[in-house]
Amino acid sequence: MKHGFGVFDHLERRGASVEGLYAGRLKLLEQYDAAGFYSYHVAEHHATPLGMAPSPGLFLAAAAQRTRRIRLGPLVYLLPLYNPFRLAVEVCMLDHLSGGRVDLGVGRGVSPFELAYLGVSFMDSRQIFEEALTALVTGLREDRLNHHGKHYRFDNVPMELRPIQRPNPPFWYGVTSPESVSFAARHGMHMVGLGPIPMVKGMTEQYREELGRHRGGPDDLNPSAQAPIMGALRHAYVAGDEREIESIAAPAYRTYYNNITKLWRDFRTLPAYGFTPEIGVAAKADSAIVGTASQVRDQIGRFFSESGCNYLVLSFAFGSLSDDDASRSVERFVSHVMPSFAENSSTAARGAG
């Protein structure tokens, strides 16, 4: 099995200026690029300190000019918030600006509050998402966009921009349930899941079985992919010594918890997912990988041997973690963890793109 590493990022607001946040993150992106990470996946969030890149494509356009090898993409574009024609041409632009390095994550959004702020009913978002996806794929693949649906109508629109990657950049999907795994498999999308290793293993087993039935069919959105990518997301901190976990990583993770739960708390409710403010609890629940380099190495080895995944997406910059602390954690990972997986590292995952 081939193992690859990617990076996930929320771009959370910190005490520093937003200008400084962007500058620091672009510098980290140069570090990810030089280290050989497969792809950089950025989240889209609105009206919350969790996401200071509410326009992922805009930030990724800047990232494309600072990097050379790493793939770049949203995880995910919230399709109910976009005009599919407009998004199709922006994806084409980004594919050209990056030299064909776009990874196209799509979804409907997990926060009903964010969708509501932008005038979209969460109850309608699934139907809107699926129609928007159909129109988006048509816009990326065809010379003219024709689509007549309940939410969107396009009549013979000339598609003057086409992507470098044909027939379209590879599609990705975030999975958290059997239904979402089925959707990813039916459409041949690369998948990234959440949850403890036994849960992720169940997802990968279901994905493989269903993908085998649907791959190459009329709904396959990744016909050019040589192999499916099956990944999971974890927060990560590689410490110089164990004291850093409590002194540096733990406070930063509490800030992340406050950010990701803010809108739910504002509306006096609880998020659907079992978030915790304690990084130690998160590590025991398989949602974080923290420790010294040797401890992290062991945790990642267990992940790959037990989960059925061939890809691990790590969030190195989270909460209030400083740029310097995030950079040191990445450097320890690259120097002391990655080499243990070098034979099956990110270059191998590139074959699945």
H runs (alpha helix) in the chain: 18-35, 56-66, 84-97, 112-117, 122-141, 178-186, 197-214, 243-244, 250-266, 279-284, 293-307, 323-332, 346-349
43, 51 in Cβ contact below 8 A? Answer: yes
CATH number for position 159 = 3.20.20.30
Q: Which domain holds residue 185?
A: 4-352
Q: What is the pLDDT of residue 343?
A: 58
Structurally, how many domains does the chain consist of? 1
Phi first, then psi: give them for residue 324, nearest 5 degrees. -65, -45
Question: Which letter does DSSP use for residue 345 in this model?
Answer: S
Per-10-residue mean pLDDT of the chain, 353 residues long, equals 85 90 97 98 98 97 98 98 98 98 97 96 97 98 98 98 98 96 97 96 97 92 93 98 97 97 92 85 96 98 96 98 97 97 55 49
Q: What is the per-residue pLDDT across 209-226, written as a single tens digit (0 to 9) for each? A: 999 998 889 999 999 998
Neighbours of 152 (CB within 10 A): 17
297-319 tens-digit pLDDT: 999 999 999 999 999 999 999 99
Q: Which residue has the tokens 């598609």?
A: 159
DSSP strand pairing (288-292 vs 77-78): unpaired
SS3 at position 267: coil
How far is Cα 269 from Cα 261, in angstroms, rounded to an integer? 9
Asked, as a colleague might, if the bond just before 137 is cis with ω within 30 of 0, I would say: no
- Encoded tokens for 341: 């997986």
What are the C-alpha distances in Å from 325 to residues 34, 249, 254?
Answer: 18, 9, 16
- Cα separation, 81 vs 160, whole angstroms: 23
- Is the alpha carbon torsion for 28, 32, 33, 34 positive or negative? positive
